[in-house]
């Protein structure tokens, strides 16, 4: 898909998704699009499978006599299940599983509830994309799943969300307008959120999505790539990558991520359990095969807070603050 559609899907993603892929693959609907990182289809988009594991060593819990360590794993599977090139139709299926195991004796302030031992985010979905004869592209995505410490425990731990979008060519070719509507109940913004962005393409090497979401993709040379992405309220991904060889890419940057869950047995069904994190990272991706990449990275995580509330501010005020520290990550990704 074109850059504007990828940016819209970035905005519509369940908050908390993140990716350290150094490139943003593209393609028209006829070519099995791999959408922007952080979208509801998963980190590698529908273009291929993706697995990632992250290890955070023990760090002190601020204000409590406890340490905090965790291991996070994520698996994404997505692929086109039906396509009619002549008519411009495509249907993409996806499965996404994220699991985080915590090692801590911390308790949540105010409630005194023990910190969850683990969190799951499991979702199944489908995306339909149709390219109209007049050059417009329309479609939508539906995701159903459960984000909780006890997934599928009950209807209160279920999630049902999705997006609808329309991409319209602008007066200046090849610019486009993208209009969208997104809703994900476990996100920071848990009501339908409209979006509009102008995809400005001044050169083949510079693309800017102006609006919400905001995104910049600048490739000053064949080897260097700069990407900046923002979506409300606190999702930022800024990175620089260097590709000295077609099968080797080094990258580094900054991320501000968050994720949301519905804890089982919570007194107020509108409360969500949020996690917030900022981190600096650097790594390298090697493709031993043109369709299989292995990625290793490390970094420094800070401003880490986990808390319960109906809003970001409430959750942070009631949250458990974790001391800053390093992390290690390893990922394997495939591409069609």
Q: Which residues contact residue 217 at a Cβ distance below 8 angstroms, ignoring those fewer than 6 apart?
A: 3, 24, 206, 207, 208, 225, 226, 227
- Greater confidence (189 vs 66) lies with 66
Return d(Cα 108, Cα 238) in angstroms, integer. Answer: 31
For the chain, the domain total comes to 1
For residue 40, pLDDT beyond 70: no
Residue 133: CB atoms within 10 Å: 7
- Greater confidence (32 vs 226) lies with 226
For residue 31, pLDDT beyond 50: no
> Residue 228 corresponds to which tokens in the numbers above?
């900046």
Q: What is the CATH number of the domain that holds 298?
A: 2.40.160
Closest CA to 178 of 159, 192, 164: 164
Interval 133-154: pLDDT, tens: 888 999 999 999 999 999 999 9
- pLDDT at residue 120 in the model: 97
Average pLDDT over residues 189-217: 91
The parent domain of residue 260 ranges over 3-334
- pLDDT at residue 188 in the model: 82
Q: Which residues contact residue 65 at a Cβ distance below 8 angstroms, ignoring those fewer than 6 apart?
A: none
Q: Give the confidence band of 47 by pLDDT, cuts at 50, 70, 90.
A: low
Tokens 């900022």 correspond to: 278
Mean pLDDT of the chain: 84
Interval 163-183: pLDDT, tens: 999 999 998 889 999 999 999
The pTM score is 0.82
How wide is the angle at C-alpha 236 spanned by C-alphas 233 and 241, nearest 5°?
Answer: 165
């Amino acid at each position: 898909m074109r850059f504007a559609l990828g940016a819209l899907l970035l905005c519509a993603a369940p908050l908390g998704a993140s990716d350290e892929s150094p490139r943003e693959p593209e393609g028209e609907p006829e070519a099995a699009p791999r959408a922007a990182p952080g979208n509801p289809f998963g980190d590698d988009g529908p273009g291929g499978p993706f697995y990632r594991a992250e290890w955070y060593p023990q760090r002190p819990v601020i204000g409590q006599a406890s340490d905090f360590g965790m291991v996070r794993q994520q698996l994404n599977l997505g692929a086109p299940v039906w396509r009619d090139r002549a008519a411009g139709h495509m249907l993409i299926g996806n499965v996404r599983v994220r699991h985080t195991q915590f090692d801590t004796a911390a308790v949540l302030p105010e409630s005194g509830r023990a910190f969850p031992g683990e969190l799951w985010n499991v979702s199944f979905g489908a995306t339909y994309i149709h390219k109209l004869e007049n050059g417009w592209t329309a479609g939508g995505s539906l995701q159903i799943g459960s984000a909780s410490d006890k997934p599928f425990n009950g209807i209160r731990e279920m999630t049902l969300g999705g997006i609808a979008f329309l991409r319209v060519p602008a007066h200046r070719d090849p610019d486009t307008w993208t209009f969208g509507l997104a809703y994900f109940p476990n996100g920071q913004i848990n009501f339908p959120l409209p979006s509009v962005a102008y995809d400005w393409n001044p050169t083949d090497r510079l693309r800017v999505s102006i609006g919400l979401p905001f995104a910049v993709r600048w490739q000053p040379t064949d080897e260097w790539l700069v990407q900046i992405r923002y979506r409300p309220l606190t999702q930022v991904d800024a990175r620089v990558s260097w590709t000295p060889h077609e099968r080797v890419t080094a990258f580094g940057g900054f991320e501000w991520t968050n994720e949301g869950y519905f804890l089982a047995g919570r007194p107020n069904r509108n409360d969500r359990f949020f996690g917030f994190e900022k981190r600096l990272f650097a790594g390298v991706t090697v493709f031993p095969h043109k369709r299989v990449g292995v990625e290793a990275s490390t970094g420094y995580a800070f401003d880490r807070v986990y808390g319960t509330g109906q809003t970001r501010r409430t959750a942070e005020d009631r949250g458990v603050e974790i001391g800053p520290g390093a992390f290690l990550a390893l990922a394997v990704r495939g591409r069609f």
